[in-house]
Structure 1
Amino acid sequence: MAETKPAARSGGILAVLAIAGIVASLTQTLVIPLLGQMPQLLHTSTTNATWVVTASLLVAAVCTPVAGRLGDMYGKRQVLVASTIPLIVGSVVCALSSSLWPMIIGRGLQGMSVGIIPVGIAALRDLLPPEKLGSGIALISSSLGIGGALGLPLAAAVVQYSNWRVLFWGVAVAGVIVAALMYFVLPAIPAAGAAGRFDVLGAVGLGVGLVCLLLAVSKGGSWGWGSASIICLFVGAVVVLLAWGWWELRNSTPLVDLRTTARPQVLMTNIASIGIGVAMYSQSLIVPQLLQLPKITGYGLGQSMMAMGLFMAPGGLMMMLLSVPSAKLSAARGPKVTLALGALIMAIGYGLSMVLMGNPWTLMIVTIIISSGTGFAYGAMPALIMGGVPVSESAAANSFNTLMRSIGTSVSAAVIGVVLAQLSVNFGGHSIPTENGFRTGLLIGCGVSVVAAIIALLIPVRRAAAAAAEAAVAHTVDEVDIVAAEVDSLPVAGVVSAAVQVAADRYAGEPVAETVTGPSIYGRVRDVGGPVVAGATLTLISTSGSQLGRAATRHDGYFEFAVPAAGSYVLIASAEGRRPDASTITVGQVPTLSEVTLGGMGALAGTVTREPGDDPVPEARVAALDPRGEVVASAETDILGRFGLSDLPEGEFIVAVSADGFHPTAVPVLVSGAGITEIAVMLRPGARLSGVVRVRSDDRPLHDAQVTLMDPAGHVVDTMTTGPDGGYTFGNLSDGDYTVVVSGYAPVVMQVSVHGDAVQGVDAHLGHDGPAVPVIPALEQTPVR
């Protein structure tokens, strides 16, 4: 049975996940205002104090893809709640620290919580109705930047007006609140269907490779780019990551499915994400320094730490406000356009900084523009990622995309750090960046933003149906031409069979098995209407249930599998927004053609109102039944009488609606495979008839008296037994005349007329002194509301 996503709870779910994402991302910038005091607070050197930031970034990079995979395997709600535990423990450890190592350990534990953001984004796919999914994804994705932007003013205020330990105690308390909210507000989310064991070796390999890479990038400036340590780290990163990639490709249940990641839409989005990460973090590194440098330098703006934080805060708020416009733009023009536009807005902001960096207020405008572009870009990237991967890999794919952003921020820190260090002067015994250094860093952010916009425009997204169909036909013709060109090189015995195969393929429009020979399966995946489906996931299993292979269709819908031997196999196909298909295929000694057709999945939404009038009916029960009478999906209406049913296969349904005090109704509905089918249902109120049975001698209520209601034809409508209070009630009655028979002593018979209202006070008195047959000519009536 498909799960419903009640609209009434969507706002609470979205708010909880947004708060969780902001709290998790706060940890990334929370310690930046403290860096200058860390050597004295922790009794260590300035170089060692930078590990307080580096440790959190490294652990976050390693744990983010792990959290995504665990969410796909074991359920996202469990992983979300579990991710708050290291956040709370790490914050407490940091708050109690007085030396370097406890602080590093605590910061590492805090970094483990960043997986909340990508797993939360993937969870929205299961929790929100389709019409709210886009804005929800944009808001949660933007929380990574919102928390980072708000962390600066918050930390600055605490450091300036209170004890630095309050920062970490506050995060610990916020973590406890977030854990409680997620536990009680988020519904259980079943595992997405990712099968197999957790890839421990893949997690360790990715962790080692990322630590080597990010450590080399982040410490290259301080350790020396040509030093043996940095060179060894880079070499180690290349070797380990190559070995990790080899392991992931041969593993049937990898930590990161590199074949899915290599899909053009996913790959290009991840590359653009690195550029967006570089551009986003550049202004976070440069603007705070410009604001706080003394005015005597000639270009510093002389602001306090608190003022710096306040000038930076509007940028973070702007990211939050733009989540809804970002989603609307993605829905109208596609997330690829939104991503490109966001990158261009960032480039414009950096370009304007060349003439607006001389005043705190104008520099704040620059940060607002750059943050606005970041908000558009961050909202579009998860939509592009989830549009290119199956549901069972959505959390892992989002986590990998978050990792790409983190790599971008690490690269940004290294590059901007080198630029500012090289273009610096000695001022009052301290080395500070020059104005030219700041301008160069801002221009780098501008250039990277432009490159990210170009990459975004090159992202190949799923084309319209007609274009896809034309491309499929063109590709088939090209394949036939290639085969025809190669016929001359075939042995004579094979020329006739090759010619026959080419002719058959041209006539039927079928693909040619390109790279498989012998026992194999090949074909195309198509929609019901005919267009091919790119990026569909196909899984081949044996009749005993063992997985033999998994593949994704190309841009032309083509797929192929080599099978170990001739025999029967089960092929399962699935694609986003379509009904999965499973079929048994018998394979011979030559390639076997299998054309797969996937039906669409639709959604049904509407309102339930009272007849006559248009008053909403809350808490009405709505169920969609297929032609066999099976309930496919169900929901309850909200306070405005609205309901939504998602993941419905295309076809005819009977929608049954019932509510207390109303006559049930059923209406036929044709659900299309695309978009949301809207319906309106009106319920007719049902009358109620009630009364009390009493003992005639002393007027006390009579328990266990039998009350029977009959229609004018003498058919029994309902029978009930009175309770201790002697009361009885018949509900949902149609208009008309009824006979009420009360028995227990001598029976009493009453005639009652019902006309759409509640009939009350139909009382009866029973005793031993003979039957009574009172007639109820008229009763005070109270309308049903």
Structure 2
Amino acid sequence: MLAPRPRSPLSSPSVSERRRPSTALVIAVLSICGTVVSLQQTLVVPLLPDFPKILGTTADNASWLVTVTLLVSAVATPIVSRLADMFGKRRMMLFALGAVVIGSLIPALLSGLPAVLLGRGLQGIGASLIPVGISIMRDELPGEKVGGAVALMSATLGIGGAIGMPLAGVIYEHFSWHALFWVSVVFAALMFVLVLLVVPESEVRTGGRFDYVGALLLSVALGALMLGISKGGTWGWTSEATLGCFLLAVVVAAIWAPLQLRTGQPMVDLRTSARKPVLLTNIASILLGFAMFGNMLSTTQQMQMPKATGYGFGLSVTAAGLCMLPGGLSMVLFSPISAAITRRFGARTTLIVGALIMVVGYVGRVFLTDSITQVVIGSSVISIGTAVGYAAMPTLIMRAVPITETASANGLNTLLRAVGTTTSSAALAALLSATTMQLGAVTVPTLDAFKHSFWLAALAATAAAGVAMLLPRAAAAKAAAGATAERDRVSSGDHAEHIVSGQVIDTDGKPLTRAVVTAIRPDGQHVDWGRTDERGTYRLAIGELGRHVLVVSADGFASRSLFWDIQGEAIPALDMLDRLSVRGTVLRDGEPEVGVPVALVKHSGEYQSTATTNDDGRYCTELPPPGRYVLTAIDPATECSTSRSIVVTNASLDVDLQLASRRDQAVGVPQAEAAGSPG
């Protein structure tokens, strides 16, 4: 049944109605925004030894200036990304930049630990901007520009970190610590204005209701996890505080996950996240994040080690930070190369290549330690691998999730990279403190301690390459296909997407939750897919209006497909006509038996369900999970029964059951023989 529905308010305007900004300008603004918010992560790191004196506090309290930014960014990234998908991507970018402006202004004007902590916490919200910016690029840029732009935007996660430390050192040496935050105020405010003027608001949105309970539980779980990882080295890995954080994270996550599976519009779509391309890419993200941050931290520390160690170079904080700049520039230069690899061979290959380049760089760092040049070259090779690998992950993610959920999916991916970097920081600190030497009254790591950290990072990068090899080749081929599908769109500029919505209902007219609707062009090209919420509503992003095939599937129902002419209006309700079931007729002497119970049990003996025959002798019970079962008809009045073994797959079964005839019962013929049952 196709019931008429009103025109969707989510349908997007035509291309001619929308302002078309310069592609190069949009890419530049978004990428600089990514760099600005990324450098907030490392902006205060060079000053940590001086902050106890500056703020009149302890070294442990001063370390919270990094920890609080990390915690807030971990919590804010999935929430802001989800809100961007629902209510507007540019709007949430402006929110993130506004938080950075305010967060930078507070410590720029005020002194004291509480004010600086508050400011650093607000700065942490800025990290959520990067996945949102990547999603805007997918929505707004011509197809042939998306790969390179996304590669550059993704690489800003490393570029900002590489720039942050030398920039902080230079500013602090020539001005004051307040100047660090004034620089952030100026750059973040400038980018706020440019985003407002240059970046268009994406019309691709999901709408709906925000999952407040899911967001709260996820925030608690993430906060506890990141706090335990970041403070474990200071508190002790077996301390009550550290173990309590990990226990809290596990318990809350165990409550959160089932709630997400039952929620129509969850904070994180775990079903989508469990799909093989998404799951494996996210695992690779953790491993690459671990490998990337090991390079960043070990390089500056190795450069600052005293020459008396036999391997150190005795550089200042600023000089050591400047040694990271070649790596940052390499990431910028190799971003378009990574996009070219993706276009030619697919994002899967790009991810593998990036991870293997990092392995080569780390192995080189183990053996090349004699000069600053050797260390910088090794560090730069690792940065190149980081840029190549990071560029592939958003592409893999976006091609495996609905178009209307790209920001939240990239937000989760970005969050998992942060989990990797935080774990890397903790692991590196443990390794460098495990193998030490004495220089007078000072204890410093040995060269072997650094080499151990290099081998560990190389192992993480190798594991990332191995995980990437498990990615489906079909997904890689699709990533290399280019402009054949709507997702890649054409370069003519006519690439606006229309958001259409509809509802899936069952035979009783009730909405079906978690049904999946896929749009396919008549030539077989995949367009988009969406999952229904608690009201049975789904949304699809359609690049070209006209004739499409809609494929609908839902648990417990036979899949169906139909042609529909999509013209920018709501799609009529899709009625799932055929509920999957085990059904049939119970007969005796060729006549239907009325009111006979039919029981379904597993072959191993567990009870599944019972149905009763109607006036026509028909029974029907919901299709159980695939497996071997025994179907039994029971007539209590005559104490007659018959059984039959069946094998359930993903299709309805018609199974008739024959009870022994009354004549055979009267003369004592065994029931199974009389019924001819194979049971």
TM-score, normalization by structure 1 = 0.63
**How big is the shift at 1:36?**
1.0
Single out whichever of 530-539 and 402-411 deviates more from structure 2. Answer: 530-539
1:134 to 141, 147, 155: 147
Within the alignment, does 1:537 sit opposite 2:537 as a pair? no
Gaps of 5+ in 2: 1-12, 479-511, 541-550, 583-679
Q: Partner of 2:171: helix, strand, or coil?
A: helix
Give the match for residue 370 of structure 1. 382
Q: Partner of 1:425: helix, strand, or coil?
A: strand
Give CA-to-partner distance per residue, 1:683-731, whole Å, 9 cap, x none. xxxxxxxxxxxxxxxxxxxxxxxxxxxxxxxxxxxxxxxxxxxxxxxxx
CA contact (8 A) 2:27 2:149 kept: yes
* 328 and 582 in structure 1: CA distance in 2 versus 1, 3 angstrom threshold: farther
Distance 1:465 1:413 in 2: 36
Give the match for residue 221 of structure 1. 233
Give the match for residue 361 of structure 2. 349
Give the match for residue 446 of structure 1. 458
Quote the sequence identity (%): 39
Distance 1:414 1:391 in 2: 36
CA contact (8 A) 1:342 1:375 kept: yes
2:554 to 548, 551, 560: 560
Give CA-to-partner distance per residue, 1:347-383, whole Å, 9 cap, x none. 1000000121221111110111000000001111100
Pairs within 5 Å for 1:28-427: 28-190=41-203, 192-427=204-439
**How big is the shift at 1:386?**
0.3
1:585 to 575, 578, 585: 575
Which amino acid is 2:243 matched to? I
CA contact (8 A) 2:65 2:120 kept: yes
* 72 and 538 in structure 1: CA distance in 2 versus 1, 3 angstrom threshold: closer
1:547 to 522, 536, 550: 536
Which amino acid is 2:212 matched to? V
Q: Partner of 2:443: helix, strand, or coil?
A: strand
CA contact (8 A) 2:135 2:407 kept: yes
Which amino acid is 2:290 matched to? V
Distance 2:513 2:70 in 1: 46
**How big is the shift at 1:232?**
1.1
Which amino acid is 2:554 matched to? E
Distance 2:305 2:514 in 1: 67
CA contact (8 A) 2:277 2:475 kept: no
Q: Partner of 2:94: helix, strand, or coil?
A: helix
Which amino acid is 2:294 matched to? S
Distance 1:67 1:195 in 2: 14
Count of equivalent residues: 524
Distance 1:265 1:447 in 2: 22
Distance 2:350 2:371 in 1: 31
CA contact (8 A) 2:518 2:530 kept: no
CA contact (8 A) 1:521 1:560 kept: yes
CA contact (8 A) 1:7 1:128 kept: no
Distance 1:523 1:165 in 2: 53
Distance 1:141 1:296 in 2: 39
CA contact (8 A) 2:515 2:536 kept: no
* 235 and 587 in structure 1: CA distance in 2 versus 1, 3 angstrom threshold: same
Which amino acid is 1:547 matched to? G
Which amino acid is 2:372 matched to? P
Which amino acid is 1:169 matched to? W
CA contact (8 A) 1:349 1:370 kept: yes
Which amino acid is 1:411 matched to? T
Distance 2:356 2:372 in 1: 23
Distance 1:572 1:424 in 2: 70
CA contact (8 A) 1:218 1:410 kept: yes
Give CA-to-partner distance per residue, 1:228-275, whole Å, 9 cap, x none. 111111111100111111111111111111111111100100000000
Pairs within 5 Å for 1:364-763: 364-462=376-474, 527=520, 536-539=529-532, 546-547=535-536, 559-562=553-556, 584-585=574-575, 587=577
Q: Partner of 1:66: helix, strand, or coil?
A: helix
Distance 2:316 2:71 in 1: 30
Larger RCO (CA within 8 A; separation ≥ 6): 2
Distance 1:199 1:129 in 2: 33
Distance 1:308 1:75 in 2: 41
Q: Partner of 1:561: helix, strand, or coil?
A: coil
Which amino acid is 2:577 matched to? V
Q: Partner of 1:302: helix, strand, or coil?
A: coil
Q: Name the one with the larger helix percent.
A: 2
Q: Partner of 2:15: helix, strand, or coil?
A: coil
Within the alignment, does 1:12 sit opposite 2:25 as a pair? yes
Which amino acid is 1:83 matched to? A
* 584 and 210 in structure 1: CA distance in 2 versus 1, 3 angstrom threshold: closer
CA contact (8 A) 1:571 1:583 kept: no
Which amino acid is 1:238 matched to? V
* 464 and 109 in structure 1: CA distance in 2 versus 1, 3 angstrom threshold: closer
**How big is the shift at 1:186?**
1.2
Distance 2:144 2:263 in 1: 37
Q: Which of these two proteins has the greater Rg computed from alpha carbons?
A: 1
Which amino acid is 1:110 matched to? Q
Q: Name the one with the larger strand percent.
A: 1
Give CA-to-partner distance per residue, 1:451-505, whole Å, 9 cap, x none. 1011111112535999xxxxxxxxxxxxxxxxxxxxxxxxxxxxxxxxxxxxxxx
* 97 and 582 in structure 1: CA distance in 2 versus 1, 3 angstrom threshold: same
**How big is the shift at 1:527?**
5.0
TM-score, normalization by structure 2 = 0.72
**How big is the shift at 1:573?**
11
Gaps of 5+ in 1: 467-518, 552-556, 593-785
**How big is the shift at 1:558?**
9.0
Distance 1:573 1:294 in 2: 72
Which amino acid is 2:52 matched to? P
* 426 and 455 in structure 1: CA distance in 2 versus 1, 3 angstrom threshold: same
Give CA-to-partner distance per residue, 1:592-615, whole Å, 9 cap, x none. 9xxxxxxxxxxxxxxxxxxxxxxx
* 345 and 95 in structure 1: CA distance in 2 versus 1, 3 angstrom threshold: same
CA contact (8 A) 1:524 1:532 kept: no
**How big is the shift at 1:523?**
11
CA contact (8 A) 1:520 1:591 kept: no
Distance 1:520 1:208 in 2: 27
Q: Partner of 2:238: helix, strand, or coil?
A: coil
CA RMSD, 1 decimal: 3.2
Which amino acid is 2:78 matched to? P
Distance 1:53 1:465 in 2: 41
Q: Partner of 1:587: helix, strand, or coil?
A: coil
Which amino acid is 2:396 matched to? L
**How big is the shift at 1:143?**
0.9
* 146 and 409 in structure 1: CA distance in 2 versus 1, 3 angstrom threshold: same
